[in-house]
Chain A
Amino acid sequence: MSTASVPLPNWITYGLMPFLNLVVAFLISGVVVWFIGESPLEAVKLLLQGALGNGEGIGFTLYYATNFIFTGLSVAVAYHAGLFNIGSEGQAYVGGLGAALASLALDHYVPWYVTMPFAVIGAAIFGAAWALIPAWLQAKRGSHIVITTIMFNFIGAAMMVYLLVHVLIVPGKMAPETRVFLEGGQLPKLDWLIAMFGGKIGAAPFNVSFLIALFMCVVVWALIWRTKFGYEIRTLGASPTAAIYAGIPYVKTVILTMLISGGLAGMMALNPVLGASARLQVEFVGGAGFVGIAVSLMGRSHPIGIVLAAILFGVLYQGGDALSFDMPKITRDMIVVIQGLVVLFAGALEYMFRPAIVRVWQRFGKA
């Protein structure tokens, strides 16, 4: 037996430990930067400046964060039921179809705020649908959800490319994408929000989806901790045998949870499709589904943690772009390595320092 079950105060578990992990990830990244002959301090400065230094940077950072909030919530909901949904990527991709169809159908006739609810529902339904078969296979057949959702990422990607190249493409055009939505099919920018803090949004695609994401954080929090179904989800995740004892129906709970998870992933599509590019394009998800796994892990599957972790990854994405622009030696790939380190330390190795912290805490913490 070891230190694993020694209780620690919350501020250590939820504050100090993620912070230490982050510091280590950055220290190692710093060493890498130093190795290729750049100054780590300079790099950090550039990164932070690019991400948070002006209104446009912040706009981009929050734009990325919006994606990650949706996918992070998606992973978290499934995780509470003990399900590891690796398929947020594919669910978001297919969700884009639902969102785009709503915009294509309505943008001629109504203003954006009428289209929005339809797009939200469309995205959620399509994303949920893409989670349905893996959920059903897990619930009824015991096929492992990790495997099936990964497979569905590939199937989803192939299907979307087919649809965009053969069905949704604008006749006579080369690019595999839908037509550009009119204003009635777009989500407006949140320039006023940035302006409130004295910044200028510039070209940043920061849009209303961010507010939808925050709203969904509240919804997910209430679902998990304030509803009977959420109670059942948590029971199933924490103790499958206790769930049987309590008569919590396994099949129904697994399928419904995955539908909700898929729906949240699908809603991520609102941000790039309706908010940024105003059309459906291939590969618009760009890995956000996978980042969602790290965000959910790091955020300890709690909406507040997820928002913070999503902003952190937003900073890394936007700041990384800026950094590779200003320091050509630091390529896009290097940025991916740094993001990978953060995922590694904050997600996969989240408990690495726990034994040491426990020892220090036991010796000095209570004095």
Chain B
Amino acid sequence: MSPSPTVAPAIELIGIDKKFGAVHANKNINLTVAKGSIHGIIGENGAGKSTLMSILYGFYQADGGAIRINGKDTVIHDSQAAITAGIGMVHQHFMLVENFSVLENVILGVEGGALLGRGVSDARSALKRLEADYGLEVDPDAIIEELPVGLQQRVEILKALYRGAEILILDEPTGVLTPAEADHLFRILGVLRDQGKTIILITHKLREIMAITDTVSVMRRGEMVATRQTSGTTVEELAELMVGRRVLLRVEKGPAAPSDVVLSVRNLTVKDGRGVTMVDNVSFDVRAGEVVGIAGVAGNGQSELLEAITGIRKPASGEIFIHGQSVTGLDAARLRTLGLGHIPEDRHHMGLVLGFEESENSILGYHREGRYGRGPLLDLDACRDDAKAKIEKYDIRPPNCRLKTANFSGGNQQKIVVAREIEHDPALLVVGQPTRGVDIGAIEFIHRRLIAMRDAGKAVLLVSVELDEIRSLSDRILVMFAGHVVGEKTPDTGEQTLGLMMAGIAA
């Protein structure tokens, strides 16, 4: 449906400019978003997408420029003002109180009076209404930390709608979702648009842009370089606009030459914190020179399997061997000395300390090594030189190893982790969601590095909810369902077949 031209655009950004010290994150950005449309924004990691949205949401103040909402000049000096102007935001990293219920999170900050009673029951019926209108089912009494990410995200959307949002900003909403969850989200967004809401969608997945947006804008290095009608463009054109060169959207690799077994898992059973069995009697091998992919819908035990192999969680029973040596129950530090590298699924909780300088994170887990200082001492110069080399090689932006890690864009944070783990040249690399939140140029780069690891005779174990990624990188695919490995397939197996196995329907 195309918006009528007489209606003022929902959002007009005029000449928005923003600097963080030496980093020019937004350069004179102009953007017009029509009312009742879904507008995609794409761009490389660090291009300035999140910054621009944070300005619109009042989280940062622009150094220059103006914002017009529904044709009216609007000053948005904090997020409260944004909410008043009808803008809601679902952040790249959720902002929920983990041990509160859904309902409590939704009303947080808008409780309505000092006593909770009235507000809560009002909110409950309001939630019911939103659920019915937009297909946003979620149990209002569920505790956030017990919900899968897909539902947590729904809570974020509910929060925004409950506050009366007419304009909804979603920053990389599908980064953490399974394909099915993503589809569901897009259906919800479609309904929202049809009811007249305006949506801005930031994503790295061009497929999603093509599937759901009406218009798409491309950012590169702080500038808005192009805006296109989605129907009039192609994935290839967008990729080129984003990166400034042609991008190979497929992984090129020769046949694998597997040799000795590096990782061997035998009858492994792993329980989660509540004592529920998440991995049930699983056995498999990974050989030097091959990539083994584990496919599965999130929550079927892949995370716990990775945690057990990488020394983060003690298995309940079974054994793990690296190069034939039993390593069951060893901690991550010992495992690293035995040649394990680990790119964790959740970079914010595990892979990085966000308050540290970049250079400090580039040694995390390897900090005891002699090259980072003699004996007990930490040699900061050595750490920084090392970090600078990785920044250069992996094109981490901005190239400043003294910058606080939290101030890097999401994709660049991921590159910090990937660089650290690959550069330590492990014999066995265990990888969870390596390209989550990473732009297509960087995906291409990371995929190449992983294949290069394989070709150099390393063993790679890969877990990803991106079926495409699993299929294009793996030499063998193990499908996990409900804690079991339900089958092993070759990478040319059709998406359909794998999908059915992942759903526990076929084996």
A residues sitting closer than 8 Å to B (CB atoms) are 1-3, 6-7, 225-232, 234-235, 238-239, 241-242, 244-249, 359, 362-363, 366
Contact = CB atoms under 8 A, between A and B. Distances in A.
Contacts of A235: 353, 356, 364
Contacts of B331: 247, 249
Given A2-B78, A225-B378, A242-B350, 17 more contacts: A1-B95, A2-B79, A7-B407, A226-B377, A226-B380, A227-B378, A228-B368, A232-B367, A235-B364, A239-B353, A241-B349, A241-B350, A242-B352, A242-B353, A244-B332, A246-B365, A247-B333
B79 A231 contact: no
Given A245-B312, A245-B365, A363 B95 contact: no
4 closest A-B pairs (Cβ-Cβ)?
A247-B333, A247-B332, A246-B365, A245-B350
Interface in B291-342: 310-312, 331-336, 342
Contacts of A3: 78
Interface SS of B by simple majority: loop
A231 B59 contact: no
A160 B344 CA distance: 50
A81 B356 CA distance: 14
B349 A246 contact: no
Interface SS of A by simple majority: helix
Contacts of B60: 6
B297 to A, nearest CB: 24
A244 B360 contact: no
A227 to B, nearest CB: 5
Contact of B63 (A1, A228, A232, A366): A366
Contacts, number: 90
A271 B111 CA distance: 53
A235 B357 CA distance: 12
A245 B334 contact: no
Contacts of A241: 349-350
Contacts of B335: 247
B364 A242 contact: yes
B209 to A, nearest CB: 27
A228 B78 contact: no
A2 B364 CA distance: 30
Interface in B433-478: none
Contact of B373 (A6, A228, A246): A228
A248 B336 CA distance: 12
A245 B77 contact: no
A226 to B, nearest CB: 6
25 contacts: A1-B59, A2-B78, A226-B377, A226-B380, A227-B376, A227-B378, A228-B367, A228-B372, A228-B376, A228-B378, A230-B378, A231-B378, A234-B356, A239-B352, A242-B349, A244-B312, A244-B332, A245-B332, A245-B344, A245-B364, A245-B365, A246-B332, A247-B333, A362-B61, A363-B61
A247 B311 contact: yes
Contacts of B349: 239, 241-242
B333 A246 contact: yes
B354 interface: yes
A227 B356 CA distance: 15
Contacts of A232: 367
Interface residues of B, number: 41
Contacts of A227: 373, 376-378
B357 to A, nearest CB: 11
B196 interface: no
A238 B332 CA distance: 18
B351 A242 contact: yes
B300 to A, nearest CB: 22
B312 A362 contact: no
B365 A247 contact: yes
A6 B350 CA distance: 23
A363 B76 CA distance: 11
A212 B219 CA distance: 57
B398 interface: no
B19 to A, nearest CB: 9
Interface in B61-77: 61, 63, 77
A229 B377 CA distance: 8
Contact of A359 (B77, B79, B378): B77
B78 A231 contact: no
B161 to A, nearest CB: 17
Nearest to B406: A5
A246 B310 CA distance: 10
Contacts of B407: 7
A192 B335 CA distance: 57
Nearest to A7: B407
Contacts of B119: none
B355 interface: yes
Contacts of B356: 234-235, 238
B431 to A, nearest CB: 14
Contacts of B336: 247
Contacts of A362: 61, 77
A263 to B, nearest CB: 17
A16 to B, nearest CB: 19
A355 to B, nearest CB: 9
B336 to A, nearest CB: 6
A241 B91 CA distance: 22
A169 B334 CA distance: 52
A231 B372 CA distance: 12
- Among B356, B363, B378, the one with the most A-chain Cβ atoms within 10 Å of its Cβ is B378
- Among A227, A241, A247, A366, the one with the most B-chain Cβ atoms within 10 Å of its Cβ is A247
A228 B368 CA distance: 7
Nearest to A242: B353
A241 B335 CA distance: 17
Nearest to A235: B353
Interface in B343-401: 344, 349-356, 360, 363-365, 367-368, 372-373, 376-378, 380
A6 B58 CA distance: 11
Contacts of B373: 227-228
